[in-house]
Amino acid sequence: MIKVKDRKLLLLPGDGIGPEVMREVKKIIEWFNKNKSLDFKIEEDLVGGASYDKHKNPITDEVFYKALESEAVILGAVGGPKYDNLEFSKRPERALLKLRKELKLFANLRPAICFKQLVEASSLKPEIISGLDIMIVRELTGGIYFGEPRGIEPIENNERKGINTHTYTTSEIQRVARVAFDLAKKRKNKVTSCEKSNVMEAGVLWREEVQSLKDKEYSKIELSHMLADNCAMQLLRNPKQFDVIVTDNLFGDILSDEAAMLTGSLGLLPSASLGAKDKNGKIRSMYEPVHGSAPDIAGKNIANPIATILSLSMALKYSLDLDKEAEQLDLAVQSVLDDGLRTKDIMSNNMKEVSTSDMGDAIIAKLK
């Protein structure tokens, strides 16, 4: 079997359950190296609270440069109550914002998939949720989270004023819309764009620019526009009407969390953050589970590693052009769930509860 070129993967386990779930990802990467001659070169380093504890900084320049040189970054989780009182610039979450901003990761892909084995875990009726498979594409580096001016300032009458600025440009809107349209081509050729064009000028621009791009370059894609508050309602009423949803940073933050909770299994959902292609066709990227660092269960070997494992699967697909291997890994996860194996967070009657490491081993055993 011919070996492919070395590919650098940077693993950043982070805090809480991050190191435990990342251990299982590392085992799977090593399986692919040994059995599929893929020659991944693994680097591992500190991020978030773990980095702050050692370096008094949530991410060092050295780690940041390693991220720049990697084919993909896979992150575990960051944060925890012990860091809540740090000044804003030192908090673990700032590492994520720095990576997203400096790597120019402008598109966040959040799949919301209802696994057939876990339909009962959703708070919605099975007929509404069964078979759900939607993708939310969230703009990640613009909008109200990054706009200037921002801050809190004193005003008259001994009051204070909080300021945040919501802005978008044509290029910022169209580059994320292009990601959504390209994804739709591989799915059901259907995109829903969400904004608040009824009350926000930036929303009017968003709607116009997405429509303009569709008319010029994606005539075969079915595009509909929906107000973001209506989208929040429709996700609960009839989520299967959607395929790909594209929206801004703020609405994407909220709608993607809502969609994730529809599935009833947050511990199974991955995410990807993608940048633009460089002159060599390489895309900068970072992959991470949707769940947090769960410090209350850290170190107990009971965390669910599936979301982080499926984040690796997204990396194989979107950054490494290894669609076949990604599908193989997805099927291995499905097969283990079919066998009735469950970690504590998704345990139900008549299933077999297994540890973090047992779940990783079971998934590896299904790889062929």
d(CA 217, CA 208): 14
Q: What is the Rg, in whole angstroms, of the alpha carbon atoms belonging to the chain? A: 21
196 annotated active-site: yes
Active-site position among 257, 339, 345, 361: 257
61 annotated active-site: no
d(CA 336, CA 130): 19
For residue 113, give Cα distances in angstroms to 117, 259, 325.
11, 9, 19
From the list 194, 200, 165, the residue with the least C-alpha distance to 177 is 194
15 annotated active-site: no
Active-site position among 45, 133, 253, 330: 253
Active-site position among 39, 229, 296, 338: 229
229 annotated active-site: yes
Task: Output the furthest CA–CA distance in the chain (Å, rounded).
Answer: 76
Q: Are 22 and 13 in contact (CB under 8 A)?
A: yes
From the list 221, 225, 224, the residue with the least C-alpha distance to 203 is 225
What are phi and psi for residue 8, nearest 5 degrees?
A: -85, 125
From the list 121, 176, 108, the residue with the least C-alpha distance to 314 is 108
190 annotated active-site: no
Active-site position among 27, 90, 133, 145: 145
Active-site position among 52, 83, 168, 196: 196
Q: Which residues are catalytic?
A: 145, 196, 229, 253, 257
